[in-house]
Chains A and B, each alone.
Chain A
Amino acid sequence: MLAVQHLKVAYGPTEVLRDVSFDVPEGKIVALLGGNGSGKTTVLNALTGLVRPRAGSVRLKGEECAGKRPDEIIRAGIAQVPQGRDVWPSMTVAENLELGAVTRRDRAAIAEDLEAVYDLFPQLREKRKRRAGSLSGGEQQMVAIGRALMTRPRCLLMDEPSAGLAPAVVGDMVDAVLELNRRNLTILIVEQNVGVAAAVAEYAHVLQNGEIAVSGPADGLLDDPAVLRSYLGR
């Protein structure tokens, strides 16, 4: 589904991603892990066109996305739920979700997708007229996920969806991610919480020094004390 090859990103003179290559197979959940500041968010931002890669290729089902504008990449089918949620606080929940479909013209399908989001997160249906900024952290995360779903992505990128959530809500978030995958969505998830990554992902890639240092099935990798210690600081 998503093939990332030799991706290179620098902010001015500092090279953050030197040579990053990995695949996200269709229908799977793949975790991208790494220490603080290792460049995980930068990978997602390069995949969605928020930062322009210096080199490398990002192919979605064979279509080259590297170097395109975010709106073109979103139309191609990649969506990102950003770190820290970034809902539009002064707008209502419904407005946040509806604007997610701003690149689309298929009205009937948009209405269906909105219903599907409300079915996935019933709290949002109740609070659809509330200002998004007045919701709890967990609810804002739901808005951010729902807004990304409204672009009708083929591949969803999630940046630390469990960060800052109350422990009781983290389980709900895991369930939501699994449910989306059951509905055939391919997901690349960045997580600091190794427990969450292990609970959802089939494969995992670990980013270090601007490269993928280890990859493998999530089970083996995330149970390996050596991996946890040397790459993730546990």
Chain B
Amino acid sequence: MLFSYLLVSGITTGALYALIALGIVIVNKASGVINFAHGELLMVAGFVAWTLHVGLQLPYGVALLGTVAIGFAVGVLTDRIAFRPLANADLVSLVLATVGLSFILKGTARLIWGGKADYLSFPPLTQAEPILLGPLMIIPQQLVVTAGALAVMIAFAAFFRLTTAGKMMQATADNAKAAKLVGIRTDRVYMMAFAVGSLIAAAAAVLMAPLTLLYPDMGFLLFVKGFAAAVVGGLTSLPGAVLGGILVGVVESLAGGYIHSSAMEVAPFLVIMAVLIVRPTGLLDFAKVRRV
């Protein structure tokens, strides 16, 4: 019983880590940059969702759509303000810009939503009783969150596979010079990648909000989990990010249940180490595996 409970809740948090990892991977694929502000984008989106849902009393679904739209806009803005001016700078400057951005977002959140020690709580999605499915105990709220995460992943995959914008992003990630040579505005593609990454962070935040407390410093820990998942998946593979997220979530949950709650903090690093020892380029980074 304990195992199945830990497994199911591990999959739920894992699905959320997978979303965080997807956002990190999409930015990295397009631009080569690890966005260290990704966790803060998520944190800000959590507060925005809180304002819409708790503050303005909008229904959860509306708050979700609104937050996702705002997340997209924040992504576009930060690209314009923080990254576009650095278009010809080296990678290190870009990464430092993301670190700077993370501080700015954190400061802004403190200004708007309160002091350092303020924790805001989000109402639960549903009060429904746990369902027993044979040996599995399913908590309805976890089911809703997992389904929501899955829906976001499917929409995301469809965007990449089916839309011209998605294909332009894929082409730019594959070979940016060739993308320029057919007339793709790669500067816009980078902006798009950043905005879509931020949008996904927002979706993850709204899904996660009912399961956790919101506070301005929550971003970094979430970034670490998502980054671990992304590294495990190979840093440029979208399916790898999903797999990595679930793996990190489940290992963390099992470690918390069987060892000690403090073990949850180290779980992501153990997963990274274990995977990198077996497959130094990550689980699903086919391109790099072949190149070696």
Find out whether the CB atom of B182 lies under 8 angstroms from the CB atom of A50: no
Q: How far is the CA of A87 from the CA of B171 in the complex (A)?
A: 9
Majority secondary structure, B binding face:
helix
Partner of B182, one of A49, A69, A90, A99: A99
**Is A100 located at the chain interface by the 8 A CB criterion?**
yes
Across the interface, B167 reaches (CB within 8 A) one of A69, A74, A91, A148, namely A91
The answer to whether B174 touches A89 (Cβ under 8 A) is: yes
Asked whether any CB of chain B lies closer than 8 Å to the CB of A82, the reply is: yes
A162 and B174 CA atoms in complex are apart in Å by 23
Q: Would you call A102 an interface residue if the criterion is a C-beta within 8 Å of the partner chain's C-beta atoms?
A: yes
B178 touches A86 (CB 8 A): yes
CB pair A90 B174 closer than 8 Å = yes
Taking a contact as CB atoms under 8 Å apart, the answer to whether A100 and B182 are in contact is yes
Q: Are A99 and B181 in contact (CB under 8 A)?
A: no
- Please tell me if B180 contacts chain A, counting CB pairs below 8 Å: yes
| In the complex, residue of chain A having the shortest beta-carbon distance to the beta carbon of B188 | A71
B130 CB → nearest A CB, Å: 42
Q: Are B287 and A87 in contact (CB under 8 A)?
A: no
Using A74-B182, A75-B183 as known contacts, say yes or no to A99 and B177 having CB atoms under 8 A apart.
Answer: no
Whether the Cβ atoms of A102 and B287 lie closer than 8 Å is: no
Min CB–CB distance A21 → chain B (angstroms):
24
Q: Say yes or no: B180 contacts A70, CB within 8 Å.
A: yes
A72-113 interface mask toward B, CB cutoff 8 Å, 1 = contact, 0 = none? 001100011010001111110001001111110000000000
| CB < 8 Å neighbour of A103 from B175, B178, B183 | B183
Q: Is the CB of B170 within 8 A of A90?
A: yes
A contact residues around B170 at 8 Å (CB): 88, 90-91
Q: How far is the CA of A69 from the CA of B177 in the complex (A)?
A: 13
Complex contacts, A71 vs chain B, CB 8 Å: 180, 183-185
| Nearest Cβ on chain A to B45's Cβ, whole angstroms | 30
CA–CA, A100 to B167, complex, Å?
11
In Å, the complex CA distance between A100 and B180 comes to: 10
In contact, A87 and B183 (Cβ under 8 angstroms)? no
Contact with A along B171-206 (1 / 0, CB 8 A): 100110111111111000000000000000000000
| Nearest CB on B from A150, distance (A) | 8
Chain A binding site: helix, strand, loop or mixed by DSSP? loop
Q: Which A residues touch B164, using CB under 8 A?
A: 99, 102
Partner of B183, one of A70, A90, A91, A95: A70
Does A8 lie at the interface of the complex (its beta carbon under 8 Å from any beta carbon of B)? no
- Closest chain B residue to A74, Cβ basis: B183
Q: Which residues in B have their C-beta under 8 angstroms from that of A89?
A: 174-175, 287
| CA distance in complex: A148, B174 (Å) | 17
Given contacts A99-B168, A99-B171, contact A88 B183 (CB under 8 A): no
How distant is the Cα of A48 from the Cα of B171 in the complex, in angstroms? 18
Interface string of A128-171 (1 = CB under 8 A from B): 00000000000000001001101100000000000000000000
A88-B174, A89-B287, A91-B174 are known contacts. Are A103 and B182 too (CB-CB below 8 A)? Answer: yes
CB within 8 Å for A74 and B181 given contacts A89-B287, A102-B164: yes
Contact A99 B180 (CB under 8 A): no
Give the residues from 38 to 54 in chain A that come closer than 8 angstroms, CB to CB, to chain B.
48-50
Give the shortest distance, in Å, between B209 (CB) and chain A (any CB).
35
Tell me, in angstroms, the Cα distance from A218 to B252 when the chains sit together.
70
Q: Which residues of A contact B167 (CB under 8 A)?
A: 91, 95, 98-99
Q: How far is the CB of A7 from chain B (nearest CB, A)?
A: 19
For A144, list chain B residues within 8 Å (CB): 178
Most buried by A among B174, B175, B178, B181: B181
Q: Which of B82-125 contact A (CB under 8 A)?
A: none
Across the interface, which residues of A come within 8 angstroms of B185, CB to CB? 69, 71
**Is B174's CB under 8 angstroms from A151's CB?**
no
CB contacts (< 8 Å) of A103 on chain B: these are: 182-183
- Residues from chain B with a CB closer than 8 A to the CB of A70 are 180-181, 183
- Complex Cα distance A102/B179, Å? 10
Question: What is the distance, in angstroms, from A73's C-beta to the closest C-beta of chain B?
Answer: 8
- Given A75-B183, A89-B287, 11 further pairs, Cβ under 8 A: A48-B181, A69-B185, A74-B181, A79-B181, A82-B177, A82-B178, A86-B175, A88-B179, A91-B170, A102-B183, A103-B182
Can you name 18 A-B residue pairings with CB atoms under 8 Å? A49-B180, A50-B181, A70-B181, A70-B183, A71-B183, A71-B184, A74-B183, A79-B181, A82-B177, A86-B181, A87-B175, A87-B178, A88-B170, A102-B164, A103-B182, A103-B183, A151-B182, A151-B183
B residues with CB within 8 A of A: 164, 167-168, 170-171, 174-175, 177-185, 287
Q: Which residues of A contact B (CB under 8 A)?
A: 48-50, 69-71, 74-75, 79-80, 82, 86-91, 95, 98-103, 144, 147-148, 150-151
